[in-house]
Chain A
């Protein structure tokens, strides 16, 4: 890129205020990732300690299903954790690169960090939509 074009550039800048905000959001995003991963670790630890089964709750007559009996689906938990880790990986990449990119004034790295954030939002949106659809189906089935 021709450095001369910078003089006439009327584009947006990551100024001191923006850098301050970016520093803050990177820290908080990293905290979210750390807390979420810790939550997953505790979840798996709980699963291991309980041996994959929780004590069975009262069984209403005529209704059967692992949901009411309280049995934990080990495979389901592991899949949930793996998906969660995959999603949070992109948030981690965003948090770890955006602050450095803003400080070093590296526009390529800055743009790349927001690409990770975009992927994080995209995957989260898709899973939320799926969850919403399942919830709607369950509610409609119950009515």
Chain B
């Protein structure tokens, strides 16, 4: 059976076209990671200034469905913690993606096999993290559906 011209006995050689695609993927991954870091920072800022933002809203629009948030430091603190946690959750896949991108760029420049493997490892970590978070969110959505369904059934039978 004729072997692929571009493969060696010991594995798949990354040819010039493959290197170009890997380099481009790494470039966009790096950009996406940096945008993600900026997004995380913005989320933290929104969380930290949540109280004053709500105060501005209530002052500007003459009423707030959540009441006067500025008079409830407890709620402001809770919302700040919530936003910081959300930012933390979003930070890690961006970090793994950034590592994938930098290590891929380094491995392509230096032909370092070890660094290439580490780069793939970071990409795997990115998708693993995203997969777990997505599944957890799905579970919450399904639970919310069930609760809403049970609530509707209970209301209908009353």
Interface mask (A79-92 → B, CB under 8 Å = 1, otherwise 0): 00000000000000
Q: Using a CB–CB distance below 8 Å, which chain B residues touch chain A?
A: 3-8, 10-15, 17-22, 24-25, 28-29, 31-32, 35-36, 38-39, 42, 46, 53, 56-57, 60-65, 107-108, 111, 113, 116-117, 120-121, 123-124, 126-128, 130-131, 134-135, 137-138, 141-142, 145
State which residues 89-109 of A face B: CB under 8 Å. Answer: 101-102, 104-108
A21 and B121 in contact (CB under 8 A), knowing A12-B108, A121-B29, A132-B35? yes
Extra pairs beyond A11-B13, A60-B63 (16, CB < 8 Å): A11-B14, A11-B15, A13-B8, A15-B10, A15-B113, A18-B11, A18-B113, A21-B117, A31-B131, A38-B138, A42-B142, A42-B145, A62-B61, A63-B61, A106-B12, A128-B39
A111 and B17 in contact (CB under 8 A), knowing A32-B134, A61-B62, A105-B11? yes
State which residues 106-127 of A face B: CB under 8 Å. Answer: 106-108, 110-112, 114-115, 117-118, 121-122, 124-125
- Contact, CB under 8 Å: A62 / B120: no
Considering only CB atoms, which chain B residue lies closest to A136 in the complex? B42
Rounded to whole angstroms, the CA-CA distance of A21 and B61 in the bound complex is 53
Chain B interface, >50% SS class: helix
